[in-house]
Amino acid sequence: MGNSLGKLFTITSFGESHGNCMGVIIDGCPAGLPIVEEDIQREVERRRPGAVGTTERWEPDKVEILSGIYNGLTTGAPICLLTWNKDIDSGVYKRNRFALRPGHADYTAFIKYGGFNDFRGGGRFSGRITLAYVMAGAIAKKLLSRLGVDVFAHTVEIGGIKAQPKELAKIKENASKNPLWCADQKAAEEMSRLIEKAREEKDSLGGIIEGIALNVPVGLGEPVFENLDGELAKALLAIPAVKGVEFGAGFAVAGMKGSENNDRYTIEGGKIVTQTNNAGGILGGISNGMPIVVRVAVKPTASIAKSQPTVDIKEMKEVDLAVRGRHDVCIVPRAVPGVEAMMAVTLCDFALRAGLIPRVIK
């Protein structure tokens, strides 16, 4: 239970970090959409390690299309996408099987599944799960592009270092120039240095990712229990290590006056727009046509090489644990494509529900 998301564009994720594969089944994708493996592979490449402080686990992550696509076109049947896990080293996990990693899901998963959960590499609770999200997101992005919707994300903060705000139109291109996906090159260099320092100190860092969707039509979202912001938040919180979500001005609204927070309407080229975007493109749970702007807080990686006190759940005694193995010192850069994917999957579902995407694409 709990491994599927969406009403009309439904994704079901499967696979464990050190199991055979990671995969996703997408049901509800309209027929006739041109898709080839390279379209999905391109997105998958963006979440691979490469930035300073990312895992040394090197997976080929070669995407295979198992069903639902024939002659480069979706058929309307469920689409199954997967990649095989190759670079597996479960030794450390087996040795520390019962020493609960502070900050990870070891304790909660052990209790919930009675110890039967695949603990190797974090199993279902590994960041590798976002590979499935990104594969599904590649298809969602393609569908959304037919409406002119562009979804992208970038790193705005790591370890307290903040990127300077950039012009919206330049963020996507600038962020693609460094492996941290940060549109401010100077800040990116500082962030890299800080990550390196955290690695030397056997510690980890968190940060903030901003997701943006441009040209979203007015009217997406189903109040009151399936609000667009609520469903986006749900999808984004399914990214492991995401602990907070805010839209537009977010938590800062609490300190504003109405006259400051209210986005004033105006007319631009015959269209109603707002002069500011404190609402982050969503009012009353419905998209208002302004860019959707959402920020997620990513916690520092739980698995750190620094020794920490914990509990051995089998022996029921207190022990010290220094987590060995291959871990990301900072999860943020590798979660950026995941943020884009979860936004795209959610927006795609709502676009189908609004009847904006036909069931057969001609």
Residue 135 engages ligand FMN in binding (rule: CB under 6 A) = no
Residue 199 engages ligand FMN in binding (rule: CB under 6 A) = no
Q: How far apart are CA 319 and CA 211, in angstroms?
A: 40
Residue span binding ligand FMN (CB under 6 A) among the ranges 134-142, 212-220, 234-242, 308-316: 234-242
The one-letter code for the residue type at 357 is: I
Residue span binding ligand FMN (CB under 6 A) among the ranges 2-10, 33-41, 214-222, 332-340: 332-340
Residue 321 engages ligand FMN in binding (rule: CB under 6 A) = no
Q: How many residues bind ligand FMN (CB under 6 A)?
A: 21
**Exposure on the CB side of residue 191, measured as CA atoms within 13 A:** 33
By beta-carbon proximity to ligand FMN, the closer residue of 289 and 337 is 337
Residue 303 engages ligand FMN in binding (rule: CB under 6 A) = yes
Q: How far apart are CA 134 and CA 338, in angstroms?
A: 6
**Minimum separation from the CB atom of position 129 to ligand FMN (A):** 8
Residue span binding ligand FMN (CB under 6 A) among the ranges 20-28, 86-94, 146-154, 331-339: 331-339
**Minimum separation from the CB atom of position 7 to ligand FMN (A):** 24
Letters for 68-107 (x = contact with ligand FMN by CB under 6 A, - = none) are ------------------------------------xx--
* Cα–Cα nearest to 341, from 2, 26, 51: 26
Residue 240 engages ligand FMN in binding (rule: CB under 6 A) = yes
Torsional class of 248: left (φ above 0), alpha (ψ -120 to 50), beta (otherwise): left
Which of 81, 180, 331, 351 is the binder for ligand FMN (CB under 6 A)? 331
* Cα–Cα nearest to 123, from 210, 209, 240: 240
Burial zone of 23 (CB within 10 Å; 0-12 exposed, 13-18 middle, 19+ buried): buried
Q: How far apart are CA 54 and CA 329, in angstroms?
A: 6
Which of 239, 286, 336, 345 is the binder for ligand FMN (CB under 6 A)? 239
**Minimum separation from the CB atom of position 17 to ligand FMN (A):** 9
Which of 281, 289, 300, 338 is the binder for ligand FMN (CB under 6 A)? 338
Q: Is the peptide bond before 63 cis (omega within 30 degrees of 0)?
A: no
Burial zone of 1 (CB within 10 Å; 0-12 exposed, 13-18 middle, 19+ buried): exposed
**Minimum separation from the CB atom of position 119 to ligand FMN (A):** 12
Structure tokens at 246: 């805010």
Residue 125 engages ligand FMN in binding (rule: CB under 6 A) = yes
By beta-carbon proximity to ligand FMN, the closer residue of 119 and 125 is 125
Residue 327 engages ligand FMN in binding (rule: CB under 6 A) = yes
Helices (H) and strands (E) in the chain — how many of each? 9, 18
By beta-carbon proximity to ligand FMN, the closer residue of 66 and 322 is 322
Please identify the residue of the shown chain whose CB is closest to the bound ligand FMN: 127
- In the DSSP assignment, the letter for residue 240 is T
Which of 126, 277, 288, 346 is the binder for ligand FMN (CB under 6 A)? 126
Structure tokens at 250: 């977010």
Structure tokens at 225: 């229990």
Q: How far apart are CA 181 and CA 333, in angstroms?
A: 6
* Cα–Cα nearest to 211, from 179, 248, 240, 251: 248
**Minimum separation from the CB atom of position 134 to ligand FMN (A):** 10
Which of 5, 23, 51, 55 is the binder for ligand FMN (CB under 6 A)? 55
CA distances (Å), origin 73, targets 23, 37, 65, 147, 161:
20, 11, 12, 18, 44
Q: How far apart are CA 59 and CA 70, in angstroms?
A: 27
Residue span binding ligand FMN (CB under 6 A) among the ranges 25-33, 37-45, 177-185, 239-247: 239-247
Report the interface residues with ligand FMN, using CB under 6 A. Answer: 55, 104-105, 122, 125-127, 130, 239-241, 299, 301-303, 327-328, 331, 334-335, 338
